Amino acid sequence: MKCQQCERPATFHITELTGGKPQELHLCEEHARHYLTTTGGEPSGSGGMAAALAQQVQQMAIGQTAEELAHLDQQACPVCGITFYEFRSQGRLGCPHDYVAFTKQLEPLIYNVHGESEHVGKRPRRSSGSSEERTQLIRLRREMREAVENELYEKASELRDQIRRIETEQVA
């Protein structure tokens, strides 16, 4: 997605509620910094949300260059294949192993949102199979999808049969 002010990639996606209606802004780092340091043309002296976001923009500018962000966006989970860019765009991860694949980037985000990076609390009594089986199913489904895209139908049918076997073992 491109910045609404220029042709550079939009790295900041801001949603504001103005007049009771959400307004989405997609801005590059430079325009986001300018937008967040001024509110409607006036400097943001209140120290509100815009000032906090502006500070984060400045910290990101110091810590990561555009090339580093582009490289980061190309990183993909080896299990499900989701890229970090897809996560940033959709706001959803593809599988439990994404937490491992993107640990360095997700840990500060999780800590900011939850105040902790470790799960504390209840867990389901009945889980649907072990973590390894779920991981294997995700990997097999991805491989099957790739086999179909590459028109390797025999391999896709073998993978489908393997998936069915694992799923029937889980149910039994």
pTM for the complete prediction?
0.40
Q: What is the pLDDT of residues 54-77, one digit of tens each?
A: 555 555 544 556 677 777 777 888
Q: What own/partner pairs with CB < 8 Å and gap ≥ 24 does 11-16 have? A: 11/69, 12/57, 14/53
Minimal CA–CA distance to 1: which of 26, 19, 36? Answer: 26
What integer pLDDT is reported at residue 44 of this predicted model? 41
Residue 123 vs residue 62, higher pLDDT: 123
- Measured CA to CA in angstroms, residue 116 lies from 50, 98, 108 at distances of 24, 18, 10
For the CA atoms of 147, 143, 70, 68, what is the dihedral angle to 10 degrees?
A: -140
